[in-house]
Amino acid sequence: MEGVERKTAEAPLEGYNFAYLDEQTKRMIRRAILKAVAIPGHQVPFGGREMPLPYGWGTGGIQVTASLIGPDDVLKVIDQGSDDTTNAVNIRRFFARTTGVDTTERTAEATLIQTRHRIPERPLREDQILVYQVPIPEPLRFMEPRELETRRMHALADYGVMHVKLYEDIARFGRISTAYNYPVLVNGRYVMAPSPIPKFDNPKMDRMPALQLFGAGREKRIYAVPPYTGVKSLDFEDHPFEVQRWEACCALCGAGDSFLDEVVVDDRGGRMFVCSDSDHCRERRDAGHTGPEPEAVGQVQEI
């Protein structure tokens, strides 16, 4: 199945406000977003509402999207880079039913992208907004369990404990072992948890032309990285930040520079590597690129 181009939704459901949330709630969330944009990387508490799905399923991201989405928006929803996983499909359908806006699987066509755990490979533009789903917004949480203390640490820029964690990694494993949700310094001031995106995606956040918004529903926090803001992954001078690399390229489109998923294809240890970003892979294949196993497209989609 080829990537779905812009899909016009049916008329929204009767009896629900546009995008499910009432206008006052949306206004409250937008105020929190403005505050977050004014202080890049700082976590802003907001009055998270009860959503029709439990915590841990993207309620934070959904509330942010709901407060921003308008009738002329084109929405894309991805989960681990893919448009057709259960979560992505459900959230996209939720918004289609409650707003009637067009949806798409093509990154290039979207104005609003909600994502879980990946940044699209295609560079985003100034007219786009990326909304991240965040489980635990506090980057210091596992080093300092007390909320009172972490707030003070952020206020005083007291981040020594973060580097202690990285030091411990190097002492124990020879390198920094964090592979996802890798902490970053935003605008030279706040340390931020970028959500469980792979560290491969961290460089994309730096000076991105699109607005990046982060919503955590259970913890009820919103934070933001405005367009063209400096985002630097934490590291040591003699152990600089490095992204993941693969020896293989994408089996379908041959990409050697995108984030690859490992797909098990049989019970004899057979596996292949495929672009995690399904739209990116499709775009490359449409443009004529092929990988070592281009006919495996159907196989990948079945899994």
Partner 1 sequence: MTNETEQPLLRAVGVSHWYGGTLGCRDVNFELHPGEVLGIVGESGSGKSTLLACLSARLQPTAGQVLYRTRYQGTVDIYGLSEAERRLLMRTDWGIVHQNPRDGLRLAVSAGGNVGERLMAVGARHYGRIRETANAWLERVEIDAGRIDDRPDTFSGGMQQRLQIARNLVTQPRLVFMDEPTGGLDVSVQARLLDLLRGLVADLGLAAVVVTHDLAVTRLLAHRLMVMRRGEVVESGLTDQVLDDPQHPYTQLLVSSVLQP
Q: Which residues bind partner 1 (CB under 8 A)?
A: 152, 156, 158-161, 163-164, 167-168, 170-172, 236-239
Residue 163 CB neighbours (<10 A): 14
249 a catalytic residue: no
The residue (of 1 and 156) whose beta carbon lies closer to partner 1 is: 156
Nearest distance from C-beta of residue 160 to partner 1, angstroms: 3
Nearest distance from C-beta of residue 142 to partner 1, angstroms: 10
Nearest distance from C-beta of residue 188 to partner 1, angstroms: 13
| Largest interatomic CA distance in the chain | 60
Nearest distance from C-beta of residue 243 to partner 1, angstroms: 19
Among residues 81, 217, 249, 275, the one annotated as catalytic is 275
The residue (of 240 and 288) whose beta carbon lies closer to partner 1 is: 240
The residue (of 71 and 145) whose beta carbon lies closer to partner 1 is: 145
Among residues 81, 249, 250, 291, the one annotated as catalytic is 250
The encoded tokens of residue 56 equal 């841990």
Among residues 61, 81, 253, 291, the one annotated as catalytic is 253
Nearest distance from C-beta of residue 189 to partner 1, angstroms: 13
Between the alpha carbon of residue 71 and those of residues 18, 67, 68, 103, 243, the distances in Å are 9, 12, 10, 11, 38
Return d(Cα 51, Cα 44) in angstroms, integer: 19
The residue (of 144 and 261) whose beta carbon lies closer to partner 1 is: 144
The encoded tokens of residue 262 equal 């490992």
The residue (of 97 and 189) whose beta carbon lies closer to partner 1 is: 189
Q: Identify the three-state secondary structure at position 223.
A: strand
Exposure string for 123-143, b = 16+ CB within 10 A, e = fewer: ebeeebbbbbbbbebbbbeee
Amino acid in position 142:
F
Helix (H) or strand (E) holding 271: strand 271-275
Nearest distance from C-beta of residue 150 to partner 1, angstroms: 14
The encoded tokens of residue 46 equal 């907001």
- Least Cα distance to 87 among 99, 76, 79, 98 occurs for 79
The residue (of 55 and 159) whose beta carbon lies closer to partner 1 is: 159
Q: Identify the three-state secondary structure at position 245.
A: coil
Among residues 3, 41, 48, 58, the one annotated as catalytic is 41
Return d(Cα 256, Cα 289) in angstroms, integer: 11
Angle between helices 59-68 and 23-38 (to 10 degrees): 100
281 a catalytic residue: yes
Indicate if the alpha-carbon torsion angle 53, 54, 56, 60 is positive or negative: positive
Residues tagged active-site: 41, 250, 253, 275, 281
